[in-house]
């Protein structure tokens, strides 16, 4: 019964685990074309509702399809049918896609969707972007009318599950990129980074990325120094904005200016160390012992590791940052196990809700039929009951109501059980 009334849920897709980038990029749909693609999917015969999720790591079609016996022969209820849609829409030969495709139905489709939105199926487990991408796909699908009752409730549940996993596990709490690890460490030292000063020594993409992360977290001042002063001026100009004070300082003034900085990001190509422990002591003295954080991204290193022994100086080189990132990644894997348990529980809950919802129309019909019979019998006996007092008539009414309820109770129980059996793939 559930299949006929609710339709069949089918999820088809490719992701970073099943397809190389060469295949994924051919199927990727830019956000500007997502509405059009969703509309096209919805126009396929037999598709009642649909949603397309397209990110750099996956393309997935979530569909609710008609499930009547007649339609089964003519409508795209199978992998091959949706494959044909992909082929027609993207002009990619089916043979190029087929080996990489995966397909999930019903309960497994729900599970997969929960896992994707909760970032358990992501390349970097726990990354937060995927939930936003699923929400964006949902918004677009809703705008074009591709999501209504069934997928609406499924997707709302999906967002709730994803949020629950974020709040009940630590899956997304630790940073796994070098730049974000550096920011996390800075926050462990300084708390808020509001108003903090960052000194960039040398130039490099990673150091600039780390600096941008720090600005994003509230760092208010960026000092830049380079052996080539014009290069320092250019980098400083790149960072300049109304919220950030930037300043290019002469490399010769480095040691005099460094105490101004709370965070020093060093990435020069110098063959020998630029900062020694004695520099650290001098800086700390000038700062009245306020801590300093040195992020040394240079290879060979710019900061003497012994500077870490100076009280108030914290030195992290590229290996240290990578080690923290790797440990955080391992933490995420551990948290993922807890998240999988939540997903399994939520899939079961979702199906229980669906089952009870499936049984509702039949239960209502049975109750209505019984009530009609009761009313008909009462009407037939109306002349014989007319002599009764209103209290006696009310008692008869209550008696027949109670009898009817008791008579149909076994049928109601059987009906619920049958719905459960029909939707349980194990039976």
* Residue pair 423/358 in contact by the 8 Å Cβ criterion: yes
Based on the shown chain and the rule CB under 8 A, indicate whether residue 314 belongs to the binding site for other proteins. Answer: yes
- Choice between 106 and 304, CB closer to other proteins: 304
Beta pairing class for 197-201 and 58-65: unpaired
In our burial notation (b when 16+ CB lie closer than 10 A, e otherwise), range 402-425 reads: eebeeebeeebeebbeebbeebee
* Residue pair 144/42 in contact by the 8 Å Cβ criterion: yes
Distance CA 393, CA 399 (A): 10
Q: Please give the structure tokens belonging to residue 157.
A: 């549940």
The residue within the footprint of other proteins, chosen from 1, 72, 92, 189 (CB under 8 A), is: 189
Taking CB under 8 A as the binding criterion, the range among 5-13, 28-36, 313-321, 388-396 that sits at the site for other proteins is 313-321
Report in angstroms how near the CB of residue 324 gets to other proteins at its nearest: 5
- Three-class HEC string of 313-324: EEEEEHHHHHHH
Locate tokens 């009752």: which residue? 149
Beta pairing class for 292-296 and 263-266: parallel
- Choice between 179 and 185, CB closer to other proteins: 185
* Residue pair 98/80 in contact by the 8 Å Cβ criterion: no
Helix locations, 266-305, DSSP H: 277-286
Distance CA 160, CA 114 (A): 9
Which positions are annotated as active-site residues?
Answer: 56
- Choice between 12 and 185, CB closer to other proteins: 185
* Residue pair 5/354 in contact by the 8 Å Cβ criterion: no
Taking CB under 8 A as the binding criterion, the range among 136-144, 180-188, 222-230, 250-258 that sits at the site for other proteins is 180-188
The residue within the footprint of other proteins, chosen from 30, 311, 386, 387 (CB under 8 A), is: 311
Based on the shown chain and the rule CB under 8 A, indicate whether residue 160 belongs to the binding site for other proteins. Answer: no
- Choice between 3 and 170, CB closer to other proteins: 170
Report in angstroms how near the CB of residue 216 gets to other proteins at its nearest: 18
- Choice between 141 and 313, CB closer to other proteins: 313
Based on the shown chain and the rule CB under 8 A, indicate whether residue 400 belongs to the binding site for other proteins. Answer: no
- Choice between 168 and 421, CB closer to other proteins: 168
Taking CB under 8 A as the binding criterion, the range among 124-132, 184-192, 232-240, 348-356 that sits at the site for other proteins is 184-192
Give helix then strand counts, H and E, for the chain.
17, 10
Neighbours of 399 (CB within 10 A): 10
- Choice between 78 and 281, CB closer to other proteins: 281
The residue within the footprint of other proteins, chosen from 3, 308, 367, 411 (CB under 8 A), is: 308
* Residue pair 267/300 in contact by the 8 Å Cβ criterion: no
CA neighbor of 322 nearest in space, from 182, 419, 162 = 182
Q: Give the dihedral sign, CA 189/195/200/205.
A: positive
Beta strands in 168-312 (DSSP E): 197-201, 221-226, 245-250, 263-266, 292-296
- Helix, coil or strand: residue 68: coil
The residue within the footprint of other proteins, chosen from 142, 187, 234, 306 (CB under 8 A), is: 187
Report in angstroms how near the CB of residue 183 gets to other proteins at its nearest: 12
The residue within the footprint of other proteins, chosen from 168, 253, 348, 424 (CB under 8 A), is: 168
The residue within the footprint of other proteins, chosen from 135, 144, 238, 312 (CB under 8 A), is: 312
Based on the shown chain and the rule CB under 8 A, indicate whether residue 9 belongs to the binding site for other proteins. Answer: no
The residue within the footprint of other proteins, chosen from 17, 31, 149, 323 (CB under 8 A), is: 323
Site for other proteins in 280-299 (CB under 8 A): 287-291
Q: Please give the structure tokens belonging to residue 168.
A: 């009940």
Taking CB under 8 A as the binding criterion, the range among 65-73, 189-197, 384-392, 418-426 that sits at the site for other proteins is 189-197
- Choice between 150 and 187, CB closer to other proteins: 187
Report in angstroms how near the CB of residue 84 gets to other proteins at its nearest: 47
What is the contact surface with other proteins in residues (CB under 8 A)?
Answer: 167-168, 170, 173, 185, 187-191, 287-291, 308-309, 311-312, 314, 316, 320, 323-324, 326-328, 331
């Amino acid at each position: 019964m559930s299949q006929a009334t609710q339709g069949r849920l089918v999820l088809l897709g490719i992701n970073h685990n099943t397809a190389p980038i060469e295949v994924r990029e051919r199927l990727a749909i830019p956000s500007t074309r997502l509405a059009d693609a969703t509309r096209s999917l919805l126009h396929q015969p037999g598709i009642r509702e649909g949603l397309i999720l397209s990110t750099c790591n996956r393309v997935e079609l979530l569909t609710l399809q008609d499930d009547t016996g007649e339609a089964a022969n003519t409508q795209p209820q199978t992998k091959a049918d949706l494959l044909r849609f992909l082929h027609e829409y993207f002009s990619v030969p089916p043979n190029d896609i087929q080996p990489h495709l995966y397909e999930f139905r019903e309960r497994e489709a729900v599970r997969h969707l929960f896992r994707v939105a909760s970032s358990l199926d992501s390349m970097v487990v726990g990354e937060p972007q995927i939930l936003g991408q699923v929400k964006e796909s949902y918004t677009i699908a809703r705008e074009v009318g591709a999501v209504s009752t069934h997928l609406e409730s499924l997707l709302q549940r999906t967002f709730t599950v994803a949020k629950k996993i974020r709040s009940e596990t630590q899956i997304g709490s630790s940073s796994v990129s070098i730049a974000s690890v550096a920011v996390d460490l800075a926050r462990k030292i300084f708390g808020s980074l509001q108003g903090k000063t960052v000194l960039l020594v040398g130039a490099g993409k990673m150091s600039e990325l780390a600096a941008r992360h720090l600005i994003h977290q509230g760092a208010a001042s960026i000092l830049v120094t380079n052996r080539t002063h014009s290069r320092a001026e250019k980098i400083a100009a790149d960072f300049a904005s109304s919220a950030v004070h930037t300043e290019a300082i002469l490399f010769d003034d480095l040691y005099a200016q460094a105490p101004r900085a709370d965070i020093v990001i060093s990435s020069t190509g110098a063959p020998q160390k630029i900062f020694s422990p004695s520099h650290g002591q001098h800086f700390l003295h000038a700062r009245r012992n306020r801590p300093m954080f040195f992020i040394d991204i240079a290879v060979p290193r710019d900061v003497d590791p012994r500077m870490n022994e100076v009280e108030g100086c914290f030195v992290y080189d590229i290996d240290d940052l990578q080690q923290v990132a790797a440990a955080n990644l391992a933490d995420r894997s551990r948290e993922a196990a807890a998240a999988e348990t939540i997903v399994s529980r939520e899939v079961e809950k979702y199906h229980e809700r669906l089952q009870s919802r499936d049984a509702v129309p039949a239960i209502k019909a049975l109750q209505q039929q019984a009530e009609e019979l009761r009313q008909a019998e009462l009407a037939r006996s109306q002349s014989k009951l007319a002599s009764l007092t209103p209290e006696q008539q009310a008692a008869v009414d209550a008696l027949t109501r109670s009898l009817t309820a008791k008579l149909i109770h076994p049928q109601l129980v059987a009906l619920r059980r049958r719905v459960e059996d029909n939707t349980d793939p194990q039976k």
